[in-house]
Amino acid sequence: GLFDDRALPAQYIAGATPFTNAAALNISINGRGFAMRLRPQYGIRGDYYANTINQNPSGTPTYTNLSDSVNYNWGTGGPGNNVGTNNFTAIYTVSFVAPTTGSYAFRTTSDDGVLLYVNNVLRINNWNDHSATVDTASNITFNAGDTVNVQMKYYERTGDAVAKLEMQPPGGAFDLLS
């Protein structure tokens, strides 16, 4: 990166309240004609369950990761880490704060099935075997400052495997949700 990681001396953090994994931290650094946005140390959580195609898998995930986005095209492969290449389910979860008031849209690309929940409301339901397919949920209104909870459930049966999640803010273009 541009800057070295550095630890703070103990006297600077003594008595401070630590962040939990439910806390959000956005920092903007402005100066000398540039702006930089720092992300928290966690992102979109992906829980992968091997050998199951289930909207609500039980038990401990085979593999869990944190990533900046859901943007996977594994071809005939898979996520690795003992999940396998076929017959697996993934559940991706992320929360963010709506930056502006207005109408948002979400778009998934999946091969095979997908469900998309926004604030616990099912917005996309294409839970069946299909080749790479784009599904869109539009006209979802948030106020600036609203906490938005998104959950994408995905499964891969056989063949190619694709999972992608995008969002369109008011007046903007679709981009990866990150």
Q: CA torsion, points 92, 21, 149, 75, in degrees to nearest 10? A: -20
Beta bridge partners of 92: 46, 152
Task: Write out pLDDT tens, residues 148-171.
Answer: 999 999 999 999 999 999 999 999
Distance in Å from the first CA to the final CA of the chain: 19
Q: What is the mean pLDDT of residues 42-68?
A: 95
Q: What is the pLDDT of residue 29?
A: 47
Find the radius of gyration of the CA atoms of the chain.
Answer: 18
Q: Which pLDDT does position 22 carry in this prediction?
A: 47
pLDDT tens, position by position, 137-150: 999 999 999 999 99
Out of 3.40.50.2300, 2.40.30.10, 3.90.650.10, 2.60.120.260, the CATH code matching 44-176 is 2.60.120.260
Under a CB-based contact definition with an 8 Å cutoff, are residues 168 and 105 in contact?
yes
Average pLDDT over residues 116-123: 98
Q: Which of residues 14 and 39 earns the better pLDDT score?
A: 14
User: Taking Cα atoms as reference points, which of 50, 3, 42 lies closest to residue 156?
Assistant: 50
Residue 108 confidence (pLDDT):
99
Can you give the residue ranges of every domain in the chain? Answer: 44-176
- pTM for this predicted structure: 0.77
Residue 28: its H or E element: strand 27-31
d(CA 94, CA 116): 12
Residue 79, by phi and psi: left (phi above 0), alpha (psi -120 to 50) or beta? alpha
Judge whether 142 and 101 are in contact, CB under 8 Å.
Answer: yes
Bridge partners of 75? Answer: 161
The separation between CA 107 and the C-alpha centre of its own chain, rounded to angstroms, equals 12
Q: Label residue 8 by pLDDT band (50, 70, 90).
A: low
CA dist 98 and 143 (Å) reads 7
> What's the CA angle centered on 164, arms 107 and 36, to 5 degrees?
90
pLDDT at 178: 86
